């Protein structure tokens, strides 16, 4: 389930589909260290994912402070420029 940030339709789909992975939209991740409501929302999504047996992926991690907050909340998977630039699939496998 991709781009979870808001909207009843997405929450309904999560309840109906029970996905293995839930990706948190960059909007919530961006400056989550500065916005308490974003942190609370991510925390609640983590609880929901845990109840469903899903893993959470945070997208758009661009700053170390965001990463530290996400780690503190319990997010294990992430993507964003802080962690690495996009690359061709072949480079992901070979590392070259």
CA nearest neighbour of 57 among 13, 20, 16 = 20
List the beta strands (DSSP E) in 1-96: 21-24, 55-58, 77-78
> What percent of the chain is modeled with pLDDT above 90?
67
Kindly list the structural domains of the chain, giving each domain's residue range(s) and its CATH number in brackets, ordered by start.
Answer: 8-94 (3.20.20.450)
CA dihedral 5, 21, 30, 48 (to 10 degrees): 60
Task: Tell me 75's DSSP state.
Answer: -
Of the two residues 79 and 91, the one the predictor is more confident about is 79
Q: For 65-79, write each residue's pLDDT tens digit.
A: 999 999 999 999 999
């Amino acid at each position: 389930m991709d781009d979870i940030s808001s909207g009843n339709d997405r929450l309904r789909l999560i309840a109906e589909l029970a996905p293995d992975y839930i990706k948190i939209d960059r909007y919530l991740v961006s400056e989550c260290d500065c916005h308490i409501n974003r942190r609370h929302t991510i925390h609640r999504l983590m609880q929901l994912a845990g109840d469903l047996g899903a893993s959470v992926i945070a997208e758009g991690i661009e700053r170390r402070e965001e990463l530290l907050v996400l780690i503190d909340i319990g997010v294990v998977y992430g993507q964003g420029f802080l962690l690495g630039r996009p690359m061709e699939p072949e480079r992901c496998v070979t590392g070259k």
